[in-house]
Amino acid sequence: MSLGTQINYNQVMSLNLPLYGVFAAALTPLKPDFSPHLDALPVLLDFLAQRGCHGALLLGTTGEGPSLACPERQAIFQTAQVVRQSHPRFRLLAGTGTPSLEETITLTRTAFDTGMDGVVVLPPYYFRKVSDDGLFAWFSQVIRTAVPSGGALLGYHIPPVSGVPLSLDLLSRLKDAFPDQFAGIKDSSGEVEFGRLLGQRFGHDLIVFTGNDRLFTSALQSQAAGCITAMANLFSPDLRRVWDCFATGQPDASAQARLDAYRGVMERFPPAPPLLKALLHVMHHLPAWPVRPPLLPLSAEATSQAAAELSSVA
């Protein structure tokens, strides 16, 4: 599909939430010297919007956020706003969590100052055995000093990577203390049961985005607001179909099955950023953006193999 092709998607219910739907955990275009390719970012976001994404998360795990310095991240936040000119309803989230409380506050404040719709915040992942009391104090300081009234902060629950889980009790404390600013969670635990418990305990009072494509339908059944996934860079039309069909009361098992199969292929070629950048170039003719070390580019052989396997699924 060419970049100029516009897909007309049906409008679906918003669940009365400020943030909902299919979000891409967007890649970060880089130049050969590994600096951010700011001119390419609006092109990528336009591509995602045209293929059915309601929005994008910038500088998360897939976006190599922890590898970029604060000034680089701030420039990306600002540049991303260009997508609003052609897609005014496209939502933008910013990954702002770092092990440093002060850096996290600075990035979070900057994200809102530049017009981001919300932030997704990793816990301080260097210290892996902190208590819920310590995490509550850390998130409270970020919210009080950097999240404006009406701003949306979502915790980033990805214990396989961060080593710091966000417990249900911690989420409840934060929601009670900051009902207007602590909006929800990106759940990248990959655990069906955790997603079910989130829905059971909070319902739609907490915005939940699943980070696992395989669990999208299951998460929606547990009252999730949508998904934020790496695969949305490539397969957002199927994710959007799952979302639209579920919203109309007719879940699409075939689209979910394709997502399951796609993810099965992609998990054989980790990590995600070099794989996705290589496949976007091969499958959709976007530039062959590099990844920043310690990540390395995917070999041509592996790229061809992955593309062939994904094509056979489609």
Rounding to the nearest 10 degrees, give the CA dihedral for residues 2, 251, 23, 87. Answer: 60
From the list 186, 210, 229, 277, the catalytic residue is 186
In the residue annotation, 303 being an active-site residue is answered as no
Inter-CA distances, 313 with 24, 39, 232, 300, Å: 21, 33, 16, 20
Closest CA to 138 of 151, 115, 121: 121
Task: Tokens 């339908």: give the residue.
Answer: 217
Is 31 tagged catalytic?
Answer: no
In the structure encoding, which two tokens stand for residue 112, read together? 């809102």
What is the gyration radius of the CA atoms in the chain, in angstroms? 18
Q: Is 277 a catalytic residue?
A: no
Please pick, among 61, 62, 104, 110, the residue that the annotation labels catalytic.
61
* 20 belongs to the catalytic site: no
- Considering the candidates 156, 210, 262, 277, report the single residue annotated as catalytic: 156
Q: What is the DSSP string of the chain?
A: --TTPPP-PPP---TT-SS-EEEEE----B-TTSSB-GGGHHHHHHHHHHTT-SEEEESSTTTTGGGS-HHHHHHHHHHHGGGGGT-TT-EEEEE---S-HHHHHHHHHHHHHTT-SEEEE---TT-TT--HHHHHHHHHHHHHHH--TT--EEEEE-HHHHS----HHHHHHHHHH-TTTEEEEEE-S--HHHHHHHHHHHGGGSEEEE--GGGHHHHHHTT--EEEETTHHHHHHHHHHHHHHHHTT---HHHHHHHHHHHHHHTTS--HHHHHHHHHHHHH--------TTS-PPPHHHHHHHHHHHHHH-
Q: Give the catalytic positions in this structure.
A: 61, 126, 156, 186
